A and B are shown apart, each in its own frame.
Chain A
Amino acid sequence: MDTILQLVLNGVAVGCIYGLVALGFVLIYKATELVNFAQGDLLMLGAFTCYMFVVWYGVAYWAAFALAIAIVGLFGAALDAAVLRRVIGQPQFAVVMLTIGLGAIFRSFASITWGSEIYTLPTPFSARATRLGGVTVSHEYVSIIVGTIVLCGALYAFFRYTKFGVAMQAASQNQLAAYYMGIPVKRMFSLIWAISAGVAAIAGVLLAPVSLIDINLGFIGLKAFAAAVLGGFGSIPGALVGGITIGLIELFAGAYLPHGFKDVAAYVVLLLVLAVRPQGMFGAVGRKRV
């Protein structure tokens, strides 16, 4: 029983990370119908930026956290303004390739600026744990779960109750009409990219103590795809639910299935979902009107 609780706790924590990255995907997809294959690499940049402030410049953890979010968020907005705006209206495939290329550039940049080894980020929760009954509750995992809950609550309120959120939905459904209504569509998109990049940065900093920082940290984005698809690509709560589900499946597969299944569990789930129910748990299927 204790083992199961342990697996559940760890699975939920890992799943929260997948959910946060998936959240970044879904935010951009809802707004612009682009799939950002560089989301994982933005996570990596966030982790490295925080590391740089803490280890190189001796800034306090929470301040470094805030700085990392701000810098990566601004970078996301700049990316939208400079690069992504030019490809609006092009076929989706071109944009996919563009984001893949951008991801490669980010990785290269990271390896040049910070080096290609593995680094550790010292945090106030590092290597501390509390025992509750038979379960070891690692503080790092708790920080991940709490951070995710806080962030999702904030985003939900933002989209539901502010003008920005509604305007963003309008811009995503019919860009030209949104322009006519006076919505500053370009600024909306940059804002969405800033938020998405900020979410990725938060995920990166939360993940850093658990999985250590290196330039390939971004490949976690591939598993987050499974989370986004499982939850339904246009659904924000779906991203989180999908992420947690994938995290749990992974942990339990690692414990009960033969060696090697843990690594591919997420992808198998992804293929099954796409083959059987492409809209995932909460998404909607579109159909072209003729």
Chain B
Amino acid sequence: MSLLHVEELAINFGGISALAGVSFDVEPGSVFTIIGPNGAGKTTIFNLLSRIYEPTRGRMIFQGEDVTHVPPHDIARRGIARTFQNIELFEHATVLQNFLLGRHAHKRSRFWEELLFLPRVRALELEHREAVEKVIDFLDLQPYRDSFIVNLPYGVRKVVEMGRALCTQPTLLLLDEPSSGLSVEETEDMAFWIQDIRTLLGITVLMVEHDMSLVSAVSDRVLALNYGRVLAVGSAREVQAHPDVVKAYLGG
């Protein structure tokens, strides 16, 4: 059974149909990439999965459960984490605090316990810190641990955002344009990390990407989207060779 099953997903904004019936399946333990020109509706799919938008029709089934209409804050608890195209980090907090917030879905202390900061709360906090430190080690962010986000360069912020999503210990990780704004070296690092996330951490990755070299390097399956419709699904090479995809990118 597929980890994520999307069926006839569609959404209209006023008169514009941003998605016109998109269906695909994501197998567990794979890297699934969505490509397409700007405005194709890629981030819209992510926003629907994060429940920021409400679909006009269609269904999303995650791990056998229908998540089409659950409240947005429920998604993290179910095991879906995401990064944002324009970084949505907590600017006035440190990297460590951002990561600790990533653990919020695993919060087990109650408000009145926190008021008195009972030993149980302290123990749970130390557990969260251990989990966060593992992610910091994985992404080599030790020097930035106590830096405020406002002081960090763009490339580091991208990595921090991915790290924060990893701290939720997700089953499915949504990466929105992970290499945009990154240099060649940083993109190569990103490719290694995505492969490690799939292989070492066992997390399924659903990715929106423009950089074809990255797509070819890491993806197991690729889906091409244009004007809210699926053009082609298959391996990276198959999709890139597909005549409709070529027409969408190069015109004619």
A80 to B157, CA, bound (A): 36
Complex interface residues of chain A between 235 and 284 (CB less than 8 A to chain B): none
A154 close to B (CB within 8 Å): no
A42 to B88, CA, bound (A): 39
Query: How far is the CB of A130 from the nearest CB of chain B, in Å?
Result: 51
Of all chain B residues, the one with the shortest Cβ separation from A290 is: B84
- Please report the total number of B residues contacting A with Cβ < 8 Å: 7
Interface majority SS (helix, strand, loop, mixed), chain A:
loop
Encoded as 1 (CB less than 8 Å from any A CB) or 0, chain B from 36 to 55 comes to: 00000001000100001000
Interface majority SS (helix, strand, loop, mixed), chain B:
loop
A290 to B84, CA, bound (A): 7
Give every chain B residue within 8 A of A290 (Cβ-Cβ).
43, 47, 52, 84-86, 88
A268 to B134, CA, bound (A): 52
Encoded as 1 (CB less than 8 Å from any A CB) or 0, chain B from 42 to 83 comes to: 010001000010000000000000000000000000000000
A237 to B4, CA, bound (A): 49
Encoded as 1 (CB less than 8 Å from any A CB) or 0, chain B from 209 to 227 comes to: 0000000000000000000
Of all chain A residues, the one with the shortest Cβ separation from B85 is: A290
Query: How far is the CB of A290 from the nearest CB of chain B, in Å?
Result: 5
A290 to B86, CA, bound (A): 6
A290 to B48, CA, bound (A): 12
A188 to B85, CA, bound (A): 34
A290 to B47, CA, bound (A): 8
Query: How far is the CB of A159 from the nearest CB of chain B, in Å?
Result: 25
A114 to B104, CA, bound (A): 58
Give every chain A residue within 8 A of B52 (Cβ-Cβ).
290
A290 to B176, CA, bound (A): 10
Give every chain A residue within 8 A of B85 (Cβ-Cβ).
290
Query: How far is the CB of A91 from the nearest CB of chain B, in Å?
Result: 11
A290 to B52, CA, bound (A): 9
Query: How far is the CB of B223 from the nearest CB of chain A, in Å?
Result: 21
A290 to B208, CA, bound (A): 14
Of all chain A residues, the one with the shortest Cβ separation from B87 is: A290
A203 to B218, CA, bound (A): 66
A129 to B84, CA, bound (A): 65
Of all chain A residues, the one with the shortest Cβ separation from B88 is: A290
Query: How far is the CB of A35 from the nearest CB of chain B, in Å?
Result: 23
Give every chain A residue within 8 A of B88 (Cβ-Cβ).
290
Query: How far is the CB of A284 from the nearest CB of chain B, in Å?
Result: 12
A205 to B31, CA, bound (A): 69
Of all chain A residues, the one with the shortest Cβ separation from B50 is: A290
Of all chain A residues, the one with the shortest Cβ separation from B46 is: A290
Query: How far is the CB of B89 from the nearest CB of chain A, in Å?
Result: 12
Complex interface residues of chain A between 208 and 241 (CB less than 8 A to chain B): none
Q: Please, could you name 7 A-B residue pairs with CB atoms under 8 Å apart, sorted by A? A: A290-B43, A290-B47, A290-B52, A290-B84, A290-B85, A290-B86, A290-B88
- Interface positions of A (Cβ within 8 A of B): 290
Q: Give the top 7 A-B pairs by smallest Cβ distance, nearest first.
A: A290-B84, A290-B88, A290-B86, A290-B47, A290-B85, A290-B52, A290-B43
